[in-house]
A and B are shown apart, each in its own frame.
Chain A
Amino acid sequence: MSVRINPDLLPDLLASIQQSEQNENTATTQLSSGRTVNSPSDNPAAAAAIVLNHDQSSQDAQFLQNISTLQGRFQVADSTISNVVEVLNQALSLGTEGANGTVSATDRQAIATEVQGLLTQTVGLANTTYQGAYLFGGTNVTQQPFTVDATTGAVNYNGNPNTTSVEISQGNSITANVPGDQLFQNANGSVLGALQDLYNALNTGTNMPAAVTEVQNALTQLDTQRVTYDNALNQINLSESFLNQDQLNLSQQENTLEGADLSVVASNFSQAQLADQATLSATSQVLTQKTLLDYLA
C-alpha cells in the first residue's frame, strides 16, 4: 500500500498561488521601475556597486562643471593675452617708426605718448578679472595685481608667484593660472618693462634699437608663457570628452548592474500569469471536486 497522502490539497495549492502571485508582483515591479534591483537584498553586490557607480557619475558631473568654470576663465585669460600681443605689435611698429632717423623730435614725442597709452592699456589688461577675481595675481585674486607708481611711473606687481592646481578628472590635475609677474614681467623678456623702456627711449631719443629688440623679446616670451593656457584649454577639452564618455560608460554599467531586460521580464510576467491561472483553475476544480458521498446519494 502506498503512503497515505495529505487529503487536503489546499495548502499546496495556496502555496503555489502565493508563489506565482509573488512572481507576478516581482515582474510588475521590475517592469514599472525598469530595474531588477529594487532593494539591496535583490542583489547585495550590485546594490553596493551602484553606490560607487552613482558616486563616480556625480563626480564626473562635478568635474564637468569645474571644467566649464575653468573654460570661461581660460578663454578670458587667453583672449586678454591676445590683446596684449596686439598691443605689443602696435608698439613694435611705433618703435620701428620712432627709431627711423627721419622722424622729427616732436613727432617722436607724439609716438612716445602713444606708447605710454599702450603701456596703460597693457596694465589694464594685466588687471583683467573673471567673475570678480583677478586672473593674473597668482593666488592673490582679490587685490589689483599691477599698479603704477604715481611718482616714478614704475609698474609694481602686488600678486604672488603661486599657481593653483585643479583636478579636472579623477587623478588628473592641471595648472589653472600663470602668475602675472611671470607673464608680464618675465626676466627673459618683460612686456611691461619693454613698453616702459620703449617709452623712455622715444622720449629721450636714445637706445631706440635696443628698446625695439626688447619689445620683440617680450613678444616671444609672452608667446612661450601663454602656452600654459593653450595646453590647459586642450587638456580640459580632452578631459571633457573623456568625462562625457565615462558618464556614458557608467550609465551602461549601472544598467548592467540593475537594469531589467524588459523582454525577459515581460516573459517572466506572462509565465507567472500563466502559472497563476493554471493553479487557480486547478484550485477551483479541487474545491468543487465530487466526493464519494455525491455518488452514494
Chain B
Amino acid sequence: MGGLSASLNIATQSMLAEQGAIETTTNNIANANTPGYSRQVPNLEEAGTIQIGSLTYGTGVQLGSVTSLRDAVLDLRVNQETQQQGQLNAFLEGGQQIQELFNETSGTGLQAPLSAFFNSLSGLASNPSDLTTRQNVITSVQDLATAFNQTSNNLNTLQRNTDLAVQQSVSQVNSLTAQIAQVNQQVVTATKSGENAGPFEDQRQQLINQLSNYIDVSEIDAGDGGLTLTTTSGAALVVGNQSFALSTQANPTTGFQDVYSNGSDITSQITGGALAGQIQIRDQEIPAMQNSLDTLAYNLSTAVNNQNKAGYDLNGNPGGNLFTPLTQVQGAAASLTVATTDPTLIAASGTPGPYNTAANINATGDNSNANALLALQNQNIVDGQTPLSYYSDLVFKIGNDVSTAQTTQQAGSQTLLQLQNLQGGVSGVDINEEAANLVRFQTAYQASAQVATVINTLLQATINMVT
C-alpha cells in the first residue's frame, strides 16, 4: 500500500487507538475509589510495517492490549497479614470479654469473696462462740460458692457465644468460596481467550482477601490463570470452578461444633482468620481459665472440708463438710455449693465433746480449729500455691494473653497498612496521573484528526487536478 489513502487509514486507526486509551483512562478515573480495583494501562504499540520496493513504511499505531497492574506477591502478603489480623481480632474480642470477669481493678472477680471468706474465719478465731460471727462464716461460704458459680457460668456463656460465632464464620467461608469458584472460572475463560482478565482478578483478590478474614488460605497457581485455594493444612476450598464447603458437627465430648472438610475434622488445623481466633478462645483459652477456676474451687473446698472435719462444732461433735464435697476437678467451680447453713456446725474447736455434759471439757471458746481453717489461707493447697496467689496468677495469665495479642495485633495492623500502601503504589489510581494521560491522549487524538483533515484537503486537490 502507500499513498494518501494509507495515510488516512493511519490517521483513522490512530484516532481509534487514542480513543481506546482515553476510554481506559476514563475507566480508571471512574474506579478511583472502587475497592479492589487495579488501575489499567492501555498498551499502545506500533502497527506492522509494509515494504514497498526498498522502502519500509510504518502503518501507524494500534491499541495492543489493556492490562491491569497488580503485584501477585503483594496480594499474597496482604492476604496472609489479613489472616493474622482476622485471628487476632477474633481472639481479642473473646479475650477482652474473659478478662472483664477477672477485672480486679474495678472490683469484679474472685478476690473479694475469697478474702471475705478467710476474713470471716479470722473473725471466727477471735470470737469462736459468737453466733453472729459464725453466721458471717456461713454467709461468706455461700457468697464464695455463688461467685465461683457465676464466674464459671459466665465463662460458659462466652464459650457458647463463641461457638455460634464459629458456625457463622464457617457459613461466611462457604459463601465466599462459592463466589470465588465462579470468578475463578471467569479468570480462566478470559485468560484463555486473551482478554484482559484483570477485572475478574480484582474481584477474585477482593474475595480472597475477605476470605482471609475468616480462615487461613493457601493459594496455588493452576497455570491457566485459575487459582487453587486450600487451607494451610491442605483442606481444599476452591479448585477451578468448584468450591468445597466446610461443615460443622457437634463434638460428642464438648458439644461444640467441630469444623469438617470433606469428612475430616480440621478444627485444630485452622491457623488463621477469625475461625482460628474463635476456636482458640473456645477450645483453649476458656477451657484453661475454666480449669484454673475448677482447680481452685476443688482444692480450696476440699481443704476447708477436711480441716472442718478435723475439728469440733459448737456442740463438741466432730465437724462435717462446709462445702458439698466434690468428686472431681472438672466442673468444680460450677457445682460448688454450701453443705450447711447452720452456724453452730462450723468446727472452730479442737477439743472433742460432747459438750454440756462434763463441764471441764466444754470448749465452746476453743478456737484452735478456727485458727487451722484460717491458716489454709497461707498454705499451698492449690497446685503448690496459696489460694490467693493461685488466683492472682490466673489474673496475670488472662491479662498477659490479651496484652500479647494486642501488641501483635497492633504491629500486624501497621504491617498490613504498609503492605496495602505498597499495593496501592502498584495498583492504585492516581487522578493526576490519569489527567495527564487524558490530556496526552486527547492531544494525540486531535492531532490525528487534524492529519485526517489535511489528507482530505490533499485528496480534494488531487481530485480537482483530474477534473
* Bound complex: CA A235 to CA B254 (Å): 57
**A230 contacts B by Cβ under 8 Å:** no
Asked whether B99 lies within 8 Å of A8 as measured between CB atoms, the reply is: no
Interface residues, chain A, with chain B CB atoms under 8 Å away: 3-8, 11-12, 15, 33, 35, 37-45, 47-52, 54-55, 58-59, 61-63, 65-66, 69-70, 131-133, 137-143, 158-160, 162, 164-167, 176-177, 258, 291-293, 296
Interface string of B124-142 (1 = CB under 8 A from A): 0111111000000000000
**Bound Cα distance A188, B119 (Å):** 40
B364, B396, B400: which contacts A141 (Cβ < 8 A)?
B364
B430 at the interface (CB under 8 A from A): yes
Contact indicator B123/A44 (Cβ below 8 Å): no
Q: Are B425 and A5 in contact (CB under 8 A)?
A: yes
A39 touching B96 in the complex, CB below 8 Å, given contacts A54-B112, A59-B122, A162-B366:
yes
A166 CB contacts on chain B under 8 angstroms = 125-126, 367, 371
Select one of A3, A40, A159, A292 contacting B432, CB under 8 A: A292
Choose among A42, A47, A70, A132 the residue with the greatest number of B CB atoms under 10 Å from its CB: A47
**Contact B111 A55, beta carbon cutoff 8 Å:** yes
Whether A48 contacts B396 in the complex (CB less than 8 A), given A58-B119, A291-B432, A296-B435, comes out as yes
For the complex, what is the distance from the CA of A35 to the CA of B104, rounded to whole Å? 12
- Contact residues of B between 105 and 120, Cβ < 8 Å to A: 105-106, 109, 111-112, 114-116, 118-119
* Residues A4 and B425 in contact in the complex (CB < 8 Å), given A41-B399, A158-B359, A167-B374: yes
Whether the pair A162, B363 counts as a contact (CB closer than 8 A) is: yes
Q: Do the beta carbons of A291 and B119 come within 8 Å of each other? A: no
Q: Is there a chain A Cβ closer than 8 Å to B417's Cβ?
A: yes
Q: A48-B396, A70-B126 are in contact. Are A40 and B435 (CB under 8 A)?
A: no
B406 adjacent to chain A (CB < 8 Å): yes
User: Considering the complex, which residues of chain B in the window 17-68 have a beta carbon less than 8 Å from any beta carbon of chain A?
Assistant: none
Contacting residues, chain A, for B112 (C-beta < 8 A): 54, 58
A7 engages B430 (CB within 8 Å): yes
Cβ contacts under 8 Å, A61 to chain B: 119
- How far, in whole Å, are A3 and B423 apart by their CA atoms in the complex? 12
* B171 adjacent to chain A (CB < 8 Å): no
CB pair A133–B403 under 8 Å, yes or no, is: no
Could you write out 10 A-B pairs with CB less than 8 Å apart? A5-B425, A6-B425, A35-B105, A40-B104, A44-B396, A48-B399, A55-B114, A137-B365, A160-B361, A176-B126
Contact partners of B374 in chain A: CB under 8 A:
167
A-B contact count (CB 8 A): 208
- Which residues of chain B from 344 to 397 have a CB within 8 Å of any chain A CB? 349, 351, 355-356, 359-368, 371, 374, 388-389, 391-393, 395-397
List A contacts of B391 (CB < 8 A). Answer: 51
Of all chain B residues, the one with the shortest Cβ separation from A295 is B435
Interface residue B267 (Cβ < 8 Å from any Cβ of A): no
Q: Knowing A55-B111, A167-B371 are in contact, say whether A133-B399 is a contact too (CB < 8 A).
A: no
Assembly CA distance A71 to B356 (angstroms): 28
| Interface status of B13 (Cβ within 8 A of chain A) | no
Does B221 interact with chain A (Cβ within 8 Å)? Answer: no
* Interchain CB contact under 8 A, A164 and B395: no
B428 located at the interface, meaning its Cβ lies under 8 Å from any Cβ of chain A in the complex: yes
Q: Mark B283-299, 1 if CB is under 8 A from A, else 0.
A: 00000000000000000
CA distance A58 to B123 in the complex (A): 12
B433: contacting residue among A6, A7, A63, CB under 8 A? A7
The 5 closest A-B pairs by CB, nearest first: A40-B399, A6-B424, A44-B399, A141-B365, A7-B430
Known: A40-B399, A131-B130. A8 touches B424 (CB 8 A): yes
How far is the CB of A139 from the nearest CB of chain B, in Å?
4
Contacts of B176 in A (CB 8 A): none
B388 partner, pick from A39, A52, A258, beta carbons under 8 A: A52
